[in-house]
Amino acid sequence: MRVFKFGGASVKDAAGIRNVHDLLKQVGYEDVLLVVSAMGKTTNALEVVIKDYFDKSPALKASVQEVKKYHNEIIIDLFEDEKQEVFGAVNKLFGDLEYFLENNKSPNYNFVYDQVVSYGELISTTILAHYMNFKAIDTQWIDVRHFIKTNANYRDAEVDWEATQNNISKNIKRKKLNITQGFLGSDDNNFTTTLGREGSDYTAAIFAYCLNAESVTIWKDVPGVMNADPRYFENASLLHQISYREAIELAFYGATVIHPKTLQPLQKKEIPLYVKSFINPLLKGTSVSKGTALEPYLPCFIVKRNQLLISLSSIDFSFIMEEHISEIFSLFHQYKLKVNLIQNSAISFSVCVEDKFDNFKEMNAILSKKFKVDFTENVTLYTIRHFNDTAAETVENGKKVILKQVSKETMQIITSEN
């Protein structure tokens, strides 16, 4: 079986959905499982719905309406005839969402978040599956929540591999085109959970692992994995081959083209990962597999914006030793701050973190009792794998460098915006 993942950009409008159909005709769709994200920026739009809901804002109705309108325009474009079943199916999903928003009693933000954002994927896959059937490609729509089981850590749920493996081995019908949702799972009480933003790549890897798939292909708006994000670097080049290890490093440092959790399950079973263009599906793209680290061998640039640089020093000039460090890290873990760089000296300790869940303020109140805490918001972290002098100059040119760290293969540079 082959697993294909289509992200938001590939299904952002009616033309995108038609393109998925045409692409499948070209590359084949028998014995394929499609993992699909929410259309375009729907997850962001649903985050606005959640904010309005918690703010008790009068804009709530309009923000739901906006998501509805966006999808309705796509269905009208694709199907024209309003008697098609898809209209009822999508309306039903919006009805369920509205029912939830009217009747939910839980004050738990993360729980509500997952119940609401999940509609993005439920709707996109419903539309795509109906379209495939409409185009005479026999398609099975699957509710991923019956397959991927997780703990109840809403917004960042961890997979229960045993239960998931069991569900997938028993119940996926091969020889068919199966379509399911990326990013979602469900907990023991069958409430919806999500695997973290951009988690659909990971969903594809979970299925591939449990199905012993032949390969995973993630279809992108770029030709493959490049040595830099082409949005920020004019001369980015395509990497033809990358080893799992190198890909894990790139994803870990923040190359958003592959979600970092995706690679481990694939590497364990040596399932190749292809990253290809949904615009030119017959081109080779990038192959991630065992073997050559990087072909061609080029410096790779990764940019992470909106980082927080925190410097801690001891109040009484005592050393920052293991026990302090372990205490600091357990706080980072507890408050879900992702650490992207560490630098320490005898009496000070600097970390560059990402505060995805806006928890730093609360954590700082605790840290400040024990350490002198300085922090700079909004810094940019550049990572260069396989750096050389020219590569470092490209990054540093015209910027204010506030920290630099070099190891054998990787250079990291933090710059401030002002």
Under the binding rule (CB under 5 A), the answer on residue 223 touching Mg ion is no
Binding mask 189-228 for ligand ADP (x = CB under 6 A): ---------x---------------------xxx--xx-x
Mapping DSSP to helix (H, G, I), strand (E, B) and coil, where does residue 330 land?
helix
For 254, left (φ over 0), alpha (ψ -120 to 50), or beta? left
Residue closest to 101 by CA, chosen among 54, 65, 58: 54
Is-contact 330 302, C-beta < 8 A? Answer: no
Among 229, 272, 295, 331, binds ligand ADP (CB under 6 A): 229
Within a 10 A sphere around the Cβ of 57, how many other Cβ atoms? 14
Among 19, 37, 139, 415, binds ligand ASP (CB under 6 A): 37
Q: Which two tokens stand for residue 143?
A: 């509710």
- The helix/strand count (H/E) of the chain reads as 12, 17
Site for ligand ASP in 252-291 (CB under 6 A): none
In whole angstroms, what is the distance from residue 16 CA to residue 9 CA? 8
Q: Which two tokens stand for residue 282?
A: 């017959």
Residue showing tokens 């350490």? 371
Q: Which helix (H) or strand (E) holds 140?
A: strand 139-142
Among 52, 121, 198, 355, binds Mg ion (CB under 5 A): 198
What does the angle CA 276 – CA 279 – CA 284 come to, to the nearest 5 degrees?
A: 35
- Which of Mg ion, ligand ADP, ligand ASP, none interacts with 197 (beta carbon under 5 to 8 A by kind)? ligand ASP
Q: Which two tokens stand for residue 220?
A: 């992108």
Site for ligand ADP in 29-68 (CB under 6 A): 37
Q: Taking the complex as a whole, how short is the minimal distance between the CB of residue 42 and ligand ASP, in angstroms?
A: 7
Task: With contacts defined by CB under 6 A, name the span among 10-18, 48-56, 107-115, 193-201 that binds ligand ASP.
Answer: 193-201
- Which of ligand ASP, Mg ion, ligand ADP, none interacts with 183 (beta carbon under 5 to 8 A by kind)? ligand ASP
The DSSP annotation for 10-36 comes to GGSSHHHHHHHHHHHHHH--TTEEEEE
Nearer of residues 147 and 183 to ligand ASP, judged by Cβ: 183
Task: Please say whether the dihedral angle defined by the alpha carbons of residues 215, 219, 222 and 227, taken in this order, is positive or negative.
Answer: negative
Q: Taking the complex as a whole, how short is the minimal distance between the CB of residue 229 and Mg ion, in angstroms?
A: 13
Task: Please say whether the dihedral angle defined by the alpha carbons of residues 121, 154, 186 and 339, taken in this order, is positive or negative.
Answer: positive
What does the angle CA 262 – CA 267 – CA 270 come to, to the nearest 5 degrees?
A: 130
Among 20, 23, 32, 38, binds ligand ASP (CB under 6 A): 38
Site for ligand ADP in 250-269 (CB under 6 A): 255-257
Q: Taking the complex as a whole, how short is the minimal distance between the CB of residue 41 and ligand ASP, in angstroms?
A: 8
- Which of Mg ion, ligand ADP, ligand ASP, none interacts with 257 (beta carbon under 5 to 8 A by kind)? ligand ADP
Under the binding rule (CB under 5 A), the answer on residue 182 touching Mg ion is no
Q: Taking the complex as a whole, how short is the minimal distance between the CB of residue 198 and Mg ion, in angstroms?
A: 5
Under the binding rule (CB under 6 A), the answer on residue 43 touching ligand ASP is yes
Under the binding rule (CB under 6 A), the answer on residue 185 touching ligand ASP is no
Kindly state the number of chain residues that form the binding site for ligand ASP, as judged by CB under 6 A: 12
Q: Amino acid identity of 267? A: Q
In whole angstroms, what is the distance from residue 43 CA to residue 355 CA? 19
- Which of Mg ion, ligand ADP, ligand ASP, none interacts with 66 (beta carbon under 5 to 8 A by kind)? none
Q: Taking the complex as a whole, how short is the minimal distance between the CB of residue 16 and ligand ASP, in angstroms?
A: 14
Nearer of residues 16 and 265 to ligand ADP, judged by Cβ: 16
Is-contact 113 50, C-beta < 8 A? Answer: yes
Among 17, 142, 149, 182, binds ligand ASP (CB under 6 A): 182
- Residues in contact with ligand ASP by the rule CB under 6 A: 7-8, 37-38, 43, 120, 182-183, 197-200
